[in-house]
A and B are shown apart, each in its own frame.
Chain A
Amino acid sequence: MHFIEVEHLNKSFTVRKKREKGRFLREKSIIHALQDVSFHVDEGELIGYIGPNGAGKSTSVKILSGILTPDSGRASVGGLTPWTDRKTHVQHIGVVFGQRMQLWWDVPIIDSYRLLKDIYKVQKGAFENRLEELTDALDLKNLLATPLRLMSLGQRMRAELCGSLLHSPRLLFLDEPTIGLDAVSKLKLREFLLKENREKGTTVLLTTHDMEDIAALCQRVMVLGHGKKLYDGQLPELLSRYDTQRTIHVRYDAPPDLSSLPESCTLQKDGDNFIITYEPARIPTSDMLSLLQKAGAMQEMTAQSQNVDLLIARMYREMDL
């Protein structure tokens, strides 16, 4: 038996449109947020959950965390059904929303944490130890007496994360945790999540649009689009399907003669730089290089694979999302 089991989950919402002129009733339309979604997750996995806006990611997180009840299908987390055993279930999960703060806004965060201790009925000793451990790892020691409203976004995110882990959940849902964070904060956050996952064995389900988060953290990704599961597996494998192009930036001493380049590659000029995009499957890189060398004396050259975001955009396009 797997830690999280989701079988044939369906969920749709009825949206009432604005009443059109001359009509008595408003038109209704049904949005299928989830259609027959199934997957399994084992304890200790770190999974990335991606898909364009409106793909059904939040809906599935809401169902798995017990906020919503699905129309049909089965889900169990650690043997519990989230929407029927809500209180027992949420005792073992933590949820962080990047766009919404869950701690109390105007009081020092330590007061929020003490309140959370009472809400989750955490024993005093266990609470103190865990708080010590988390404030240490998240660098919050000096901020405990600061109210949330006076913190920067990065500090707030760390404070939220600490609050969601105080009761030592087995499963952590992260909904865009790095949104709006600077590079240093992002790196720190990722480092912390990896550590938490490795040392505590916490299962993490990460929803994000930041592919660097996914690449840095997750061994496995699930792609959701139009409420359907489109892919479930390793990230590199997924990318290799779309990662068919390479780009070469090259600069010559004198204006080169690039007329011999084949039709299948594209050529752009950016100041003194030439940017050539080609598909290694059609023109082997060695051929490409010798062509470029023949064109003139090269001063500088860099070869790049495509940006992950571009790959994802291409994937969404090809999947018609």
Chain B
Amino acid sequence: MNTLKLYLHSMKVLLKSQMQYPFSFCLQTLAQIVMEAGEMLAVLLIVNRFQALNQWTGGDLLFFFGMMSISFYLTECFGRGITGNFAALIRSGNLDTFFLRPRGIMTQVLCHAIDPRRIGCIAVGVAALVLGCQQSQVQWNGMKIFLFTEAIFFGMLLILGLFLIEAVFAVHSVKSIELVNAVTYGGRSACQYPIDAYPGPLRVLFGTLAPFALVLQVPSAVILGKPLLGIDGVAAFLCPLSGLVFFVIMYFVFQKAMKFYRSTGS
């Protein structure tokens, strides 16, 4: 409870510091909206050209896109401490400061940054989702709302977990940005589309190693009424938990890396 209070307090202070430069904030948010709207346009163009991708209609594709955008950019907004530049945190020596304060390192990493500009991307994601719901005539009910919330939340944990890989590499002073970006930003781009559109190896990658498909797409498909890979019912509710599992594993790896940092240091 105390940790949550500290997190909210930190967010308030960080938001205040961002708002010290209102003009720059507005411009950057605008730029993000344009960027993300461009990605959404790509989906619309595909739909326009092909009408459908396998079993998925244009509305379905917009729905998948929206789910990914909302989950990814909520993470980037509120988990900027981890998704941001962790290597810079080490190089600047700010990580040392976290060791000097009586709180968990992960807590402080999360509390040290926020990226409210992502609100633009999130808005585009919401727009895509609403549009998708309309076109595919999704009938919402309590179960679907629960599934939606679950998918977004565990999606965020999965994304945090993936970015933690980068943090762990940074502690071991290995430059790995490109490699890890393939599963973080690459995963986001690829999994805007349902994975049954991809060949086998990519399906395995995003179905097991970086399980975007399990966390976000299986619930999305159930909400759309067209189960992905035949996963439906209780199984669809369990699949997103893989995001939690991924995060928990990476959390412990991260703690281990912090021990390593303390014994080698800067």
Contacts and interface: CB of A to CB of B under 8 A. Distances in A.
Contacts of A120: 101-102
A90 B265 contact: no
Interface in A140-190: 147
Contacts of A91: 102
Interface in B77-110: 93, 96-97, 99-103
Interface of A: 13-14, 59, 62, 65-69, 83, 86-88, 90-91, 93, 95, 100, 102, 104-107, 111-112, 114-115, 118-121, 147
A100 B100 CA distance: 13
B16 A107 contact: yes
A66 B265 contact: no
B139 interface: no
A147 B17 CA distance: 9
Contacts of A118: 5-6, 9
Given A62-B265, A68-B263, A106-B17, A93 B100 contact: yes
A61 B100 CA distance: 11
A86 B17 contact: no
A106 B93 contact: no
Interface residues of B, number: 24
B2 interface: yes
B102 A88 contact: yes
A107 B15 CA distance: 10
Given A87-B103, A121-B2, A62 B96 contact: yes
15 contacts: A13-B265, A62-B96, A65-B99, A67-B265, A86-B99, A90-B99, A100-B93, A102-B97, A106-B16, A106-B20, A107-B13, A107-B17, A112-B13, A115-B9, A118-B5
A53 to B, nearest CB: 16
A66 B16 CA distance: 31
A55 B96 CA distance: 20
Majority SS of interface residues in chain A? mixed
Contact of A67 (B2, B100, B103): B100
B264 interface: yes
B264 A13 contact: yes
Contacts of B102: 87-88, 90-91, 119-121
A119 B103 contact: yes
Nearest to A67: B99
B10 interface: yes
A111 B100 contact: no
Contacts of B101: 90, 119-120
A189 B97 CA distance: 22
B262 interface: yes
B96 A111 contact: no
B262 A68 contact: yes
A131 to B, nearest CB: 16
Q: Which 10 A-B pairs have the closest CB atoms?
A: A106-B17, A68-B265, A67-B99, A91-B102, A69-B263, A87-B102, A69-B262, A106-B20, A107-B17, A102-B97
A66 B99 contact: yes
Nearest to A83: B262
